[in-house]
Amino acid sequence: MSTEARPDRAPARLSPRTIALYAVGSVGTGGYATLPGLVLTYFLTDNLGVAALAAGLIVTLAKVWDVLIDPLIGAASDRQLARTGSRRGFMVVGAVTLPVFFALTFAVPPAWGPVAGALCVLLAFLATATAFSLFQVPYVALPAELTSGYDERTRLLGWRVVVLTAAILLFGAGGPALRTAAPDPVAGYLLMGVAAGLAIGVGMLIASRTAAATGDDPARPREPEASSAWREQYLSGFRALRRSQPFRALLATFLLQALATGTMLAGAQYVATWVLRSEDAVTLVFVALVGPALLATPAWTVVARRLGKERAFAIASCLFLLAALSLVAAVWSPGGWMYAAVAVAGIAYAGLQSLPMAMLPDVISHDERSSRPGQAGTFTGIWTAGETVGFALGATAVSLTLAATGYVSTVAGEAVAQPPAAITGIVLSFSVLPAALMAASLATLRRYRLRREDIEALQTTDA
């Protein structure tokens, strides 16, 4: 089939209500992905006095826990869909419990000491991560079941990313603002945790209603897993990886890019404090990042329609690489020009979020031709685990860089001076490191072979 060919029966257009309900879920996704990545390591090192290496280990351990449970949640979500016809149950549980655990993560006072404080933060963040996974894994599985249309999936995920970028702006700028609104840092972090946790939970709860919606590709009969054993659930994920070459290529690309963006996210607060010399500058960094991204998402949808999702994805990746690499000049000449470079990265970031998420349902549909349907949760469990690994290792990479360059941790209210080597390490973790990771992701993206005609051929076959 040529690239211009179209199936005889075009997929039905998704209703505005379905798109809106699904997109609201990104309020939760954006909040959870932004605030812990932005301020948790800084909260540990500069509020509780936890050593940089230990702070990075805490964040990493919580993310490793995500990696362990996400495939299990994915397989359980598939079984719930087969049994009840909906993935909503897990999503609701996650939405209701996350606000409590999120607030507790930032409720630890410095008076408890670094060791006790670090342990309490770890336990609370583990519980937060579990609640988020209960929502996120089935949430990511829904697009493959809401529509079979190649462009409709881009449209659905495009609007999701519009909300996601707005949420990143809201939490990235509003979170630090709430932190400084209270009379002292301890109360500020608690206020931020409570307010942000509630906003995240409400967004997740609203989006859970999408699980009951029906797209143009109604759920076909699904068989439950033959075995509920943990080993079988993990093996089902590995089997999906082994049989689907497009999934392996897309997942590897997304993991590397999550690692790249994770390093920039974890380093943003340090750049604001020690390079731009203002804790409040982190708000301006997020405005520079997310403002252009909010406007650019519809443009990436247009580019994907004309060139294909994979080519648009490659263009966005190259743009982000160049923007990140330019920031290395801040080692010698930091200043306001950095916001312009971050803004270019923000334009690219919109594509990096929407395009791979629009490609994942294509991968799942393609796999269903050679395997049985009803395994979207298995794919998204592995996908979410891979994304988690990327963001976890991003924070770890920043922490290792800080430790290696002599970063000095402190507690709330104390003033310290950082050695020049630590300042250089902060800049490199915000520029060269993400640029190198983005370059590596382009190599894996070249191995992604699904094109528009492949997906539309499936629609023609099913017509």
* Per-position b or e across 92-116, b if 16+ CB within 10 A of its CB: bebbbbbbbbbbbbbebbbeeebee
* Three-state secondary structure call for residue 48: strand
Low-confidence ranges of the chain (pLDDT < 50): 1-9, 214-228, 463
Kindly list the distances between the CA atom of residue 133 and the CA atoms of 70, 171, 319, 323, in Å, as whole numbers in the listed order.
6, 19, 31, 31
pLDDT on residue 226: 42
pLDDT on residue 400: 83
Tokens encoding 276: 């731009």
pLDDT on residue 201: 93
Q: Which of 348, 329, 325, 345 is nearest to 337 (CA)?
A: 329
pLDDT on residue 2: 36
257: enclosing H helix or E strand: helix 245-270
pLDDT on residue 415: 60
Tokens encoding 443: 């190599």
pLDDT on residue 18: 85
Angstrom distance (rounded) from CA 339 to CA 284: 8
pLDDT on residue 1: 35
Q: Which phi and psi angles does 24 have, rounded to 5°?
A: -60, -25
Angstrom distance (rounded) from CA 417 to CA 273: 11
Architecture in CATH for domain 16-212+239-462: Up-down Bundle (1.20)
pTM above 0.85? no
pLDDT on residue 348: 92
Angstrom distance (rounded) from CA 297 to CA 275: 30
Angstrom distance (rounded) from CA 48 to CA 335: 29
